[in-house]
Amino acid sequence: MPGHGIRTTVGTQTVLVGNAPCMQAAQVALGRLQDTAEALASAGKTPVYVAVHGRGAGLIAVADTLKPYAQETVKALRDLGLEVLMITGDHQRTAAAIGHSLGIDRVLAEVLPEEKARQVQKLQAEGKRVAMVGDGINDAPALAQADVGIAIGTGTDVAMEAADITLMSGDVRGIATAIALSRRTMRTIKQNLFWAFVYNIVGLPIAAGVLYPTFGILLNPMLAAVAMALSSVSVVTNSLRLRHAHGPRA
């Protein structure tokens, strides 16, 4: 049956609990419940219909609370120049309300668990490099499909196994910290390679005697050893600056 729903029998009554597509597939008459559901969805709640014998009997509103520092994390990611999207199976209006509260403009709602990986593929087909953040079993295929999968440490083992990066805690600020740290690490590697090449490009010709015929200059072996030691010290010292790197956690 399309959508999400549970059918059970209580005494002589057939009870169906599910979302709107489930009710439409079962040809349930919802009546005014639809208006109430739209109002609940606009308030950031997920409406769940209850039908008895093919007629709408009630509504259950389910609301997920935002993780602490979620808004701060979204802002930090945007400050890093990243486009932030939300992929969820929630109702379109519910997802839009949550996305608006977080400052997320692009929301992909009513996405079934098996479709999350396909949504990631579509983003990749647009030429984007995708980092997927998730913590549930349903997120595992999308985490594996993404260029970088990031699992929340308080999530399921399946999600952590499928991800490339696992945060040690449930603090979502670690997402921005990990990305900022990875960028700074790559920048440091390039700096180290640059200075290593400079030392060798300058030092090796002098040690080989290039300047001796014209200027009579030779590089003393002791000075060459000191220069190589200084090269290593500069690389290590530059790398140690990563110890002071931090993200929005500060």
**159 and 151 Cβ atoms separated by less than 8 Å:** yes
Widest distance between CA atoms in the chain? 107
Please give the chain's pLDDT, 250 residues, in tens.
Answer: 455 667 666 556 788 888 888 888 888 888 888 888 888 887 778 888 898 888 888 888 887 777 888 999 999 999 999 999 999 887 788 888 889 889 898 999 888 888 999 999 999 999 999 999 998 888 999 999 999 999 998 888 899 999 999 998 888 899 999 999 999 999 999 999 998 888 888 877 877 777 777 777 777 777 777 877 888 888 899 889 888 776 555 4
DSSP 166: E
Confidence (pLDDT) at 131: 95
| Dist. CA 162–CA 137, nearest whole Å | 10
Confidence (pLDDT) at 76: 92
Convert the pLDDT of each residue in 178-196 to its tens digit: 999 999 999 999 999 998 8
Confidence (pLDDT) at 250: 41
Confidence (pLDDT) at 1: 45
Confidence (pLDDT) at 75: 92
| Dist. CA 78–CA 224, nearest whole Å | 47
